[in-house]
Amino acid sequence: MSNIERFTHVDELRESIKMASQNGLIGFVPTMGALHAGHLSLIDRALAECETVVLSIYVNPKQFNNAKDLEKYPRNIEADIQFLGDRKLLVFHPEYEDVYPDDFVAAKVDLGSLATVMEGKFRPGHFDGVVTVVSRLFDIVDPDRAYFGEKDYQQLAVIRRMTQIQNRNMTIVPCAITRETSGLAMSSRNMLLSREERQKATGIYAILHDGINHVSEMTPLELTAKLINNFGQQGFDLEYLSVTHPETLEQLSDHWVPGARVFVACFMGTVRLIDNIALC
Ligand code: PAF
């Protein structure tokens, strides 16, 4: 027998959460489905830390700046439910009108430069869409703890900022990237890769990781140039590569700061992949 309770409508979910909250902490893991081991690590951490865990599965059209990308985003709710095994979860898989009813008013949050660099620069409007849906989901679920993966590190920074600005009484829990043994960061988009593309994509982590070896002998700007060159030499179609401060995400030039990170976005055929690691 499955331990999963499924909800499409907001009112029914809220009723169950209200009852469950009397028993302890509510954890929340928002996803767009196409679940993989990376999602399971967030879910299992939430289950270990909270009495009740809500998992949302909703492909949010508002955060896609490219219609083709939205269209080909993998969706299979029944496979996702199966993949969850015997975990005890409240699974919320709403329709568009449940998330965005006619009288819906989107939250406006000034994210400053956090939303204009890297993903914000190359996917205009993406973070406005993320803020809109996560703010709405937070209003619905009202969790004590919400879990986000560091693979979308910039998203995590944006959600942290949003939560502060909106004065929400909850903890945002960052979760380390889950990687395949090849080093490839787990992503729902990986299932869109051909065998060759998947093989080549393992080079992303290898190049980033090699960067760590050069931190002591190069400035951030020099390392950026070197890594861009390495990606080029291995035939990657690079969109951006940036070495930044871990909190402000401002590009570093001459000096290293503790926790400095390198971020990359590249295309494998038509599939866009992102990754990031801490350099020091
Ligand atoms: O990271 C994701 O899967 C999505 O951006 C999120 C947080 C579920 C919002 O749609």
Q: Which domain holds residue 49?
A: 4-175
**Pair (147, 31) in one structural domain:** yes
**Pair (10, 82) in one structural domain:** yes
Q: Given this model, what pLDDT does residue 2 score?
A: 87
Which residue minimizes the CA distance to atom 2 of ligand 1? 31
**Pair (210, 124) in one structural domain:** no
What is the pTM assigned to this prediction? 0.97
- In percent, the amount of the chain with pLDDT more than 90 equals 98
Q: Is residue 280 in some structural domain? A: no
- DSSP conformation class of 142: -
Strands 89-92 and 4-7: parallel
**Pair (83, 162) in one structural domain:** yes
Q: Tally helices (H) and strands (E) across the chain.
A: 10, 9
Residue 241 has pLDDT above 90, yes or no: yes
Q: Given this model, what pLDDT does residue 7 score?
A: 98
With a CB cutoff of 8 Å and minimum separation 6, the contacts of 11 are none
Q: Given this model, what pLDDT does residue 189 score?
A: 95
What CATH number does residue 212 fall under?
3.30.1300.10
**Pair (162, 207) in one structural domain:** no
Cα gap 248→251, rounded to integer Å: 9
What CATH number does residue 30 fall under?
3.40.50.620
User: CA geometry: angle at 71 spanning 98 and 35, to 5°?
Assistant: 70
Asked if residue 152 has its Cβ within 6 Å of ligand 1, the reply is yes
Structure tokens given for 241 = 């590569």
State the pLDDT confidence band at 83, using cuts at 50, 70 and 90: very high
**Pair (153, 21) in one structural domain:** yes
Q: Is residue 201 in some structural domain? A: yes
Amino acid (1-letter code) at residue 263: F
Residue 239 has pLDDT above 90, yes or no: yes
From ligand 1's centre to the CA of 96, what distance in Å?
15
For the stretch 152-191, pLDDT in tens is 999 999 999 999 999 999 999 999 999 999 999 999 999 9
Question: What is the number of structural domains in the chain?
Answer: 2
Rg for the chain, CA atoms, rounded: 19
Cα gap 67→181, rounded to integer Å: 32
> Of all helices (H) and strands (E), which one includes residue 221?
helix 220-233
**Pair (37, 98) in one structural domain:** yes
Length of the chain: 280
Cα gap 249→245, rounded to integer Å: 5
Q: Whose CA is closest to 263, among 121, 161, 110, 69? A: 121
Q: Whose CA is closest to 121, among 265, 256, 268? A: 265
Q: Is residue 118 in some structural domain? A: yes
Which residue minimizes the CA distance to atom 3 of ligand 1? 31
Q: Given this model, what pLDDT does residue 117 score?
A: 98
**Pair (167, 234) in one structural domain:** no
Residue 260 has pLDDT above 90, yes or no: yes
Instruction: For the chain, give the mean pLDDT.
Output: 97
**Pair (26, 80) in one structural domain:** yes
Asked if residue 61 has its Cβ within 6 Å of ligand 1, the reply is no
Q: Whose CA is closest to 31, among 100, 116, 92, 117? A: 92
For the stretch 36-78, pLDDT in tens is 999 999 999 999 999 999 999 999 999 999 999 999 999 999 9
**Pair (17, 119) in one structural domain:** yes
From ligand 1's centre to the CA of 167, what distance in Å?
21
**Residue 20 vs residues 45, 99, 214: alpha-carbon distances, Å:** 18, 22, 51
Asked if residue 35 has its Cβ within 6 Å of ligand 1, the reply is no
pLDDT mean over 106-132: 96
Active site residues: 39
**Pair (45, 171) in one structural domain:** yes
**Pair (39, 153) in one structural domain:** yes
